[in-house]
Structure 1
Amino acid sequence: MKVLQFTVPIIYKDSVVVEEDILPNFYNQLHRHKETQLTLIIKGEGTLMLGNYSQPFKAGDVFILGANHPHIFKSDSSHFVNAINGNAHSIHIFFDQERIFKNSIEHLPEFEGIKNLLGNIDQGLQLPSINADYVGEAIIGLNKKSGLERLLSFIELLHYFSNQVKDWKSLSTGFSSVELTDHEGLRMNDIYKYTMEHYAEAISLDKIAAVAHITPHAFCKYFKKYSRKTYNTFLNEIRINEACKKIIKGEYDGISNIAYSTGFNSAINFNRVFKKNVGMSPSDYIRNNKFKAVYTRLALLLVPLLNILAFVDFD
């Protein structure tokens, strides 16, 4: 199971490579590449893991991922229940900053804003939701272009980013990344994959160390070295991410149900960890997302009805 290095299929007549993926689930391996990546999620949801950072993603989200940072868009478990093409739909734009800007247009004063933006990507950025509709349409339009027309449209999009977008969300933890060898990348991928599949269970230190094929003591030092956090902190972040998704989708019957279904052994511990990670209590988060949860439930109920009505002849 090869993780690093992922090779973007560069077409040398194009400086900007665009790939549209319509798949049962998102690419399921921890990987990195030398190109900066701009991603639009059109359909699907899950957890983005970027270096030692993780958060949920959903349809409409737009991310810029820095070059050479290990990352994975881990599909939600629902993608695998009915694994059909279209569960995961995304457009990825790959570009080599040096190839486009180095020793060419980067020194032109008109590109100062773009240069500053690209210089501040660090690990990654998430586009504010207020700009998502415009940028989503622009990325979909760019996917239909090629050659010089694509390049000019891409530069225009970067210009929009640097001049019109405020309050980018940083996907950096503030630590510089630690280089992973191919072997370490494989090991971290196994750890991430196991955690995402078993977060609702009691994962002991012995169990996760066995997944990494090292002793528990060595695992603690290893994980802290490459993630800048303890494994328990990482596991709690994944669990809270999943809890937030359950709340937004309305998939719960009370706070205790959310706590136990995401691997916490008590509602009290869940409340404490939730507030530490999200900045508010689960009750406040539920209150803030109540309308969204009701809307999601109604949509899920209406889909079967609409499918039936589509075949009814009212004449």
Structure 2
Amino acid sequence: MKVLPFTIPVPEGQTIIVQEEMQSHFYPHLHRHAEIQITWIKRGEGTLLTGNSMHSFKAGEVYVLGANLPHLFRSSPEYFDESNKLDVQELTIFFDPTGKLSALFDLPEMQAVKTFFEKWQVGFKIPVEVTGAFREQIDMVQHTRGVYRMSVFLRMVNLLMGIENLQPLSVASHTQPLTDPEGMRIASVLNYIMHNYSSTLTLEDVALQAHLTPNAFCRYFKKHTRLTFVAFVNKVRVNQACKLLINGELNTIADIAYSCGFSSINNFNLTFKKIMGKSPRDYVNDYTHRVK
């Protein structure tokens, strides 16, 4: 599971790389790469892990991820069940301002753009009110070539910089080198948690993934995520519970609690309210009221 450095295949003669993928689930390992990434989720849903933060994602949303930002679009559990015959689809634009595009980004006219992407290395989600217009720009980049693609790309970047009230996806910058062994280690740990949150996760088992004693692991994990091990696991489980509550996929709140790895309904209710600021039932009622 130590899949952190990731090389984006670069087609010959292209610096703006467009990839559209359709598969049974999203790439299931935490990774990062030198390219900035703009991803349109066409089909699929799950949990987005960015740096030390996590967010639910669903079809129609667009995300901008900074260079070297560790990330994982983790599909919901049902996408790993072959009997469901579900699939996902994503359209992604990759570009590296420090690679072949460095001459462009070093121009005086591009300094504001360069500064923008440095500031937002932590990533952000395109706000819903402009998502439609931004998806059109991504589609245009995909279906153009040569100098016209570059023109459309620059127009898209200009639109990006005009968006107000952006919210960061991660609370800290992650710009250490791709070969950083500490990054490899934390990637292994986070991958293990994301794959096994619905089961019993002991401190000893997870510490083993980092080749550390439990006490040393607790210090190490808090340093890299700013959360305790238990707090991080609870956030992963509550995040999944939120999706199940909204989708109405299980009959009762107790079913949801146990499917997300909680050992009791009381523990689930207390943990959910601590993280979300409201009870599971109030969360559902508030969501239902907003979408009416």
**Greater CA deviation, 98-107 or 213-222?**
98-107
The one of 194, 217, 220 equivalent to 1:219 is 217
Q: For structure 1, which runs of at least 5 residues remain unmatched after alignment? A: 296-315
- Correspondences of 1:47-196 after superposition (within 5 Å): 47-82=47-82, 87-99=87-99, 102-104=102-104, 107-108=107-108, 111=110, 114-163=113-162, 165-174=163-172, 181=179, 183-196=181-194
Alignment check: 8 A CA contact 1:64 1:124 kept:
yes
Alignment check: 8 A CA contact 1:249 1:292 kept:
no
How far apart in 2 are the matches of 1:231 and 1:105? 40
Shift of 1:126: 0.8
State the secondary structure of the residue aligned to 2:270: helix
Cα separation, partners in 2 of 1:135 and 1:83, compared to 1, 3 Å:
farther
Cα separation, partners in 2 of 1:237 and 1:2, compared to 1, 3 Å:
closer
How far apart in 2 are the matches of 1:210 and 1:105? 43
Say yes or no: does 1:248 pair with 2:283: no
State the secondary structure of the residue aligned to 1:167: coil
- Percent identity, aligned pairs only, is 37
Residue matched to 2:9: 9
State the secondary structure of the residue aligned to 2:98: helix
Residue matched to 1:19: 19
Alignment check: 8 A CA contact 1:55 1:241 kept:
yes
Alignment check: 8 A CA contact 1:63 1:125 kept:
yes
Cα separation, partners in 2 of 1:149 and 1:278, compared to 1, 3 Å:
farther
- Matched to 2:40, the amino acid is L
Deviation string 1:65-87 (CA, Å, 9 cap, x unpaired) is: 11112222122221121279971
**Greater CA deviation, 31-40 or 81-90?**
81-90
Give the TM-score of the pair, scaled to structure 2: 0.87
Say yes or no: does 1:281 pair with 2:265: no
How many pairs does the alignment contain?
292
Say yes or no: does 1:235 pair with 2:233: yes
Cα separation, partners in 2 of 1:14 and 1:168, compared to 1, 3 Å:
same
Alignment check: 8 A CA contact 1:22 1:85 kept:
no
Alignment check: 8 A CA contact 2:32 2:178 kept:
no
- Matched to 1:239, the amino acid is R
Alignment check: 8 A CA contact 1:48 1:57 kept:
yes
State the secondary structure of the residue aligned to 1:170: coil
How far apart in 2 are the matches of 1:28 and 1:256? 28
How far apart in 1 are the matches of 2:283 and 2:84? 32
| CA RMSD, Structure 1 to Structure 2 (Å) | 2.8
State the secondary structure of the residue aligned to 1:192: helix
Alignment check: 8 A CA contact 1:43 1:90 kept:
yes
How far apart in 2 are the matches of 1:114 and 1:189? 30
State the secondary structure of the residue aligned to 1:239: helix
**Greater CA deviation, 259-268 or 89-98?**
259-268
State the secondary structure of the residue aligned to 2:56: strand
How far apart in 1 are the matches of 2:274 and 2:254? 17
How far apart in 1 are the matches of 2:86 and 2:269? 36
Alignment check: 8 A CA contact 2:189 2:206 kept:
yes
Deviation string 1:164-221 (CA, Å, 9 cap, x unpaired) is: x222221121466666746444433332233223212221111222333332122212
Cα separation, partners in 2 of 1:78 and 1:31, compared to 1, 3 Å:
same
Alignment check: 8 A CA contact 1:35 1:95 kept:
yes
Deviation string 1:232-254 (CA, Å, 9 cap, x unpaired) is: 11101110110111012112333
Q: For structure 2, which runs of at least 5 residues remain unmatched after alignment? A: none
**Greater CA deviation, 16-25 or 90-99?**
90-99
